Amino acid sequence: MRRFRFLRAAAVACATLIAVPAVAQTTLKMNIPLARDSSYGVAVDTFAREVEARTGGRYRIQNFYSAALGGERESIEALQLGTLDLTMTSTGPVPNFVPEVAIFDIPFLFRDYAQARAVLDGPIGQDMLKKFEPKGIEALAWGENGFRNMTNSKRPVRTPEDLKGLKMRTMENPIHIEAYRALGILPTPMAFTEVFTALQQGTVDGQENPLSVIMSAKLYEVQKYLTLTGHVYSPALILMSKAKWDPLSAADKQAFLAAAKDAVKANRARIDEDEKKAVAELRAHGMQVVEHVDKAAFQAALAPTFADFGKKFGQANIDRIRNYR
């Protein structure tokens, strides 16, 4: 009798193995510059979960955090080479690949988060995503880095005057560098991967980033003063190598786009959450925060660059974004 039970169990086990077709799974690598506990980390974890669910397990995203596979510029280059499959990045280094995107990096272009999100999710932003295709990159969605604020280790910054002479790390972004020079800052462009050490060693006095990044990168450990300048909105992007995008079926392309949309929802929700609590938390970590800033004074100091940006991008294009409702 026991022999019969064993043979029956073995027969059921074999039948099960044969009955369930093995699902061929493709693993895609995705790299981000920020820690897992960040607005990009929640985005790519959501993306990974949604891609696997929406493709029935045929695609799996393997996430790498804290620039484990390189910084933002290297990641974008790797997408073009096909050595990396996906990344989430700020627009920092993007103008080196798609120059037209730099219009979004103009200081004081967007009024608030709602307007920035509406522009990027609307026709202006969606048309811009198409400009990545000739560069070997499929831009799946606009994400968000946030409004950038200035920090430094030397002195409180209340007016543009206070910025003069400060050596500030900037992103490798030509629009930011031109604008910060006009404020009297000595700009030192470098990848985000080098920022913490440069601040710790005093190679630079300060930097500028959204509150969410200042928190997730623990920059309060190496910066004393924070000023809520909100001087520029920093978009982010979910990008995919076209070498991996093009072969996808139409249904899988829709699945990846839907997963990117869900990822951006999580990304923006985390930024909204961080914006509410970061000032109190950064003060608790010992930062001195200048909350109320005369933004008009900073905009006045930037006036010469606005004229130049108007020539660069077309004033009508800038006004279309600025006045978007």
Rule CB under 6 A: which residues touch ligand EAX? 33-34, 72, 90, 92, 145, 171, 192, 209, 213, 234
Backbone dihedral angles phi then psi of residue 165, each to the nearest 5 degrees: 85, -10
Q: Which is nearer to ligand EAX, 151 or 305 (CB)?
A: 151
Q: Are 103 and 321 in contact (CB under 8 A)?
A: yes
CB of 88 to ligand EAX, least distance (A): 8
User: CA-CA distance, 97 to 70, in Å (whole number)?
Assistant: 17
CB of 188 to ligand EAX, least distance (A): 12
Q: Which is nearer to ligand EAX, 46 or 145 (CB)?
A: 145
Q: List C-alpha distances in Å: 52 to 35, 79, 147.
A: 22, 21, 32
CB of 44 to ligand EAX, least distance (A): 12
> Which residue carries 């440069």 as its tokens?
198
Q: Which residues of 93-103 are buried (b: 16+ CB within 10 A; e: fewer)?
A: bbbebbeebbb
CB of 207 to ligand EAX, least distance (A): 7
Residue 234, SS3 per DSSP: strand
Q: Which is nearer to ligand EAX, 180 or 192 (CB)?
A: 192
H helices of the chain, in order, are 2-19, 39-54, 72-81, 113-121, 123-129, 174-182, 195-201, 211-216, 242-245, 250-284, 295-301, 303-313, 315-322
Q: Which is nearer to ligand EAX, 61 or 76 (CB)?
A: 76
H helices of 141-249, in order, are 174-182, 195-201, 211-216, 242-245
DSSP 24: P
Largest Cα–Cα separation, the chain:
93
Q: Which is nearer to ligand EAX, 72 or 252 (CB)?
A: 72
Sequence-distant (6+) residues with CB within 8 A of 157 are 150, 163, 166, 225, 227, 229, 290
Residue 189, SS3 per DSSP: strand
Q: Which is nearer to ligand EAX, 145 or 152 (CB)?
A: 145
Beta strands 137-152 and 186-189 are unpaired
CB of 285 to ligand EAX, least distance (A): 19
Backbone dihedral angles phi then psi of residue 31, each to the nearest 5 degrees: -120, 135
Q: Which is nearer to ligand EAX, 70 or 92 (CB)?
A: 92
CB of 318 to ligand EAX, least distance (A): 22
Q: Which is nearer to ligand EAX, 46 or 151 (CB)?
A: 151
